Amino acid sequence: MEEKSQKAPEPVKASIQPLYASFDLKLLEPYLPHHSTPTSARSQPLFPHVTLTYAQSMDGQISLSQGTQTILSGPETKAMTHYLRTRHDAILVGAGTAIADNPGLNSRFADENGITSLEKQPRPVILDASALWMPRGDEKVFELGRKGEGKGPWWLVGSKELRDIKADGDDHTIKFISQGGSAGMQVITLKGHKDWQEILQILAREGIRSVMIEGGASVINSLLEADNQKFVSSIVVTIAPTYLGTGGVVVSPRRTGETNEARLKDVKWVPMGQDIVVAGRLEHKSLGLRSDCAEGTNDKNSHQQKPL
């Protein structure tokens, strides 16, 4: 009797809908990170390449109200966003976005080889200095991680706030946080509150060469302020043909003088479906690191960032 060969285990069936490009991928190439392997520790980037990207209405709003998920991107620009995710090592969102949208923070972009492999998936990063997110393990980002359709998240949380959670939090949350890596999550503590120098240096030390920052409004507005513009390598904004009306959540950084707070240069306008995509780089309002700060090195003779 012929011996039957052992049947290979079936792969986990993808539960996500693939997104295919209907645009020329090369159009945004000048604004995307191009990774190179450092030849030595001295050539390790001080900061990752930072791409700030989001979708807004014609009246500059990204949501109908605080904490309300609002879909603005059309199918073409949604596919673009997922393509951009494949070009970055990490995706970062703030706690408010994590709570309101329960995002998966993975890429559904597909080409002739299928949906983006786990190896090429970006690392989800939740910026939560005030410890508002309170992960419990049933969030979408963990679900996708268990299915092999995304990577486990990094939770950047204030050190004092984390101690308070462990002292006064509910039993389930405390147990889940204590499991750490076994739950697919890495907990990284922060000393400051939205200190972008600290945040980006931590990511660089953890091997992140590029990060795509998607929101929410407080995160975006913080990076657009004069003192933080030097950390932003490029901006990609989707403008949807709709007006949300008064009372929504607006992208509008705090003004620090009598001139425009932020202005783009090297601008490209790309129609995609019914939307328009604007890509560019910031003309930095304050002195400090140049627009290519992500290419700075740990060489002692290189330009050093002044404290924020």
CB-based contact 211:271 (threshold 8 Å): no
- pTM recorded for the entire structure: 0.82
d(CA 145, CA 183) in angstroms, rounded, equals: 9
Number of domains in the chain: 1
Q: To 5 degrees, how large is the angle CA 71–CA 76–CA 78? A: 40
Give a yes or no: residue 3 inside a domain.
Answer: no
Give a yes or no: residue 178 inside a domain.
Answer: yes
Give a yes or no: residue 228 inside a domain.
Answer: yes
d(CA 80, CA 61) in angstroms, rounded, equals: 20
Give a yes or no: residue 196 inside a domain.
Answer: yes
Domain containing 271 equals: 49-295
Q: Which pLDDT tens digits describe the chain residue by residue (308 residues)? A: 444 443 433 333 444 567 776 778 788 999 999 876 554 555 567 899 999 999 999 999 999 998 888 889 999 999 999 999 999 999 999 999 999 999 999 999 987 777 888 999 999 999 999 999 988 888 999 999 999 999 999 999 998 888 888 777 777 778 788 776 666 899 999 987 779 999 999 999 999 999 999 999 999 999 999 999 999 999 999 999 999 999 999 999 888 777 888 899 999 999 999 999 999 999 977 644 444 454 444 443 333 333 33
CB-based contact 80:262 (threshold 8 Å): no
Give a yes or no: residue 36 inside a domain.
Answer: no
Give a yes or no: residue 39 inside a domain.
Answer: no
Token pair recorded at residue 42: 């001295």
Q: For residue 54, which of 18, 29, 81 has the smallest C-alpha distance?
A: 81
Give a yes or no: residue 181 inside a domain.
Answer: yes
Give a yes or no: residue 44 inside a domain.
Answer: no
DSSP state of 256: -
Cis preceding-peptide flag for 181 (omega within 30 of 0): no
The secondary structure of 93-109 as a DSSP string is: EEHHHHHHH-------E
* CATH number of the domain enclosing 205: 3.40.430.10
